[in-house]
Amino acid sequence: MATTGDATPDFTAPLANGDIESFTLSERLADEAPIVLAFFPGSFTSVCTEEMCTFQDRLAAFEDVDATVYGVSRDSPFTLNEFREQNDLEFGLISDLNKELIEDYDVEMDFADLGVYGVAKRSVFVVDGDGQIAYAWVSDDPGVEPEYDEVEDAVADAA
């Protein structure tokens, strides 16, 4: 599992930000670090919607230290754009449709009783400007949201 102090796995994936564009983490670090990667199991579910809306509500705190927030899920970029629009999210959402990020960050989980496999565990990684993971939080319980104050503190420390 990707942990604090590790070099962050680099990746290129579709970014839903109203449009759809290519996002490469290493290319964004110089201008956008620290970067918050908030993995969530799926759009349009109650806890995931609450989490992304809470990040939106707290977005100013991240922007105050020049940090950038991105949500990450297995949903298609088209679904993520609709999710962004319906919830008035101002930050981009990264589509990990092929599970590459979920595997690289080792945050994969299954809901076998529902027939849903290979989605992201609810997890948050803060990546500093050197490409190091400055903070890592992973939950095995999809109903548990991160400690948002803790994430904000980690971002401030990484800035």
48 part of the active site: yes
142 in a structural domain: yes
The pLDDT of residue 1: 66
Which CATH number goes with the domain that contains 55?
3.40.30.10
Query: Model confidence over 31-72: pLDDT tens digits?
Result: 899 999 999 999 999 899 999 999 999 999 999 988 999 999
Q: One digit per residue, pLDDT tens: the chain, 159 residues?
A: 677 778 899 999 999 999 999 999 999 998 899 999 999 999 999 899 999 999 999 999 999 988 999 999 999 999 999 999 999 999 999 999 999 999 999 999 988 777 778 899 999 999 999 999 999 999 998 899 999 999 999 999 988
138 in a structural domain: yes
Domain limits at 142?
Answer: 12-158
Task: Pick the catalytic residue from 48, 67, 109, 119.
Answer: 48
27 in a structural domain: yes
4 in a structural domain: no
16 in a structural domain: yes
7 in a structural domain: no
Domain count, the chain: 1
6 in a structural domain: no
- Residue 16 has, within 13 A of its CA and on its CB side, a CA count of 22
Please tell me the distance from the alpha carbon of residue 119 to that of residue 111, in angstroms, as a whole number.
8
The pLDDT of residue 76: 96
The pLDDT of residue 82: 97
